[in-house]
Amino acid sequence: MNQESSMTHCTFDDIRAILARAFVDQDQAVAPWHRQEPAFPSDISAAADAEGFAELVLRQHWANFCLWHVEDRARRKDAGPELIADCKYAIDKLNQERNDQIERLDMFLVRAMDPLLPPQAEGARPRYNTESLGVALDRGSILALKIFHMQEQVERQGAGDDLVSECRRKLEVLKEQRADLEQSVMDLVDDYASGRKRPKVYYQFKMYNDPRLNPELYSRKAGA
């Protein structure tokens, strides 16, 4: 099934379903990934249907998963400069991957919703959200990771009672925030369906990784 034909029969209920699945998949992936790394197709550059979108969600989630652990490693007090430099390069690469996948999630969703949107009144100014659905899914990914690791601290052997109590309180707040986020995502889809807002892809255009745009890279290359 190609992307155009799959989206022709898409409904807002379908959009809600794939977003709800995304939150579930993020939750369920974290624990197994700590036991074994996932295997992804070599190139996940676009989604053609709901299954392709689910793969994109997990690929984006994996970038956050890797970022979490590299950033933990980078904060070791006994780490030498080579390890810190390796972590910095890995973080830059993973952040680029994370943002690329957010954009791909939004591209699929915007294309899927475009034929479903009610027409705007003539002369009406389009209203947009400050955060795209792809960015909201990224936040859901990070919250899923926080919840897993905070649960680890609640269950950690040898942790003091005060620390466990503090982590348990934080865990409940994180769970509430993630539930609120999912509801906000569904509310935003309702806004799109009613015509109150319009979906849009927001491109990051990261400059620091592009040797053509980062002056620290292109000036050194030119011998400046």
The domain locations on the chain are 3-119+128-210
Please name which of 150, 154, 130, 131 lies closest in space to residue 142, comparing C-alpha atoms: 150
Rounded CA separation 28/33 (Å): 9
Give me 26's structure tokens: 């993020």
Residue 128 has pLDDT above 70, yes or no: yes
Query: How many distinct helices (H) and strands (E) make up the chain?
Result: 7, 0
Instruction: Report the pLDDT averaged over residues 191-195.
Output: 96
Please name which of 113, 114, 107 lies closest in space to residue 52, comparing C-alpha atoms: 107
Rounded CA separation 133/184 (Å): 10
Cβ burial 104-129 (10 Å sphere, 16+ → b, else e)? bbbbbbbbbbeeebeeeeeeeeeeeb
Residue 220 has pLDDT above 70, yes or no: no
Q: Note the pLDDT of residue 43.
A: 66
Percent of the chain with pLDDT over 90: 66
Q: Note the pLDDT of residue 122.
A: 83
Instruction: Report the pLDDT averaged over residues 125-146.
Output: 96
Query: Does residue 164 or residue 121 have the better pLDDT?
Result: 164
**Band (3; pLDDT cuts 50, 70, 90):** very low
Yes or no: say if 52 and 46 are a contact pair by the CB < 8 Å rule: yes
Task: Label residue 63 exposed, middle or buried (CB < 10 Å: 0-12, 13-18, 19+).
Answer: buried
Rounded CA separation 94/60 (Å): 10
Q: Note the pLDDT of residue 117.
A: 95
H/E element holding 164? helix 161-194
| Structure confidence by residue, pLDDT tens digits, 36-94 | 999 887 666 677 899 999 999 999 999 999 999 998 888 877 878 888 888 888 899 99
Task: Label residue 1 exposed, middle or buried (CB < 10 Å: 0-12, 13-18, 19+).
Answer: exposed
**Band (5; pLDDT cuts 50, 70, 90):** very low
Query: Does residue 118 or residue 208 have the better pLDDT?
Result: 118
Q: Position of tokens 């591209």?
A: 107
| Structure confidence by residue, pLDDT tens digits, 144-184 | 999 999 999 999 998 888 999 999 999 999 999 999 999 99
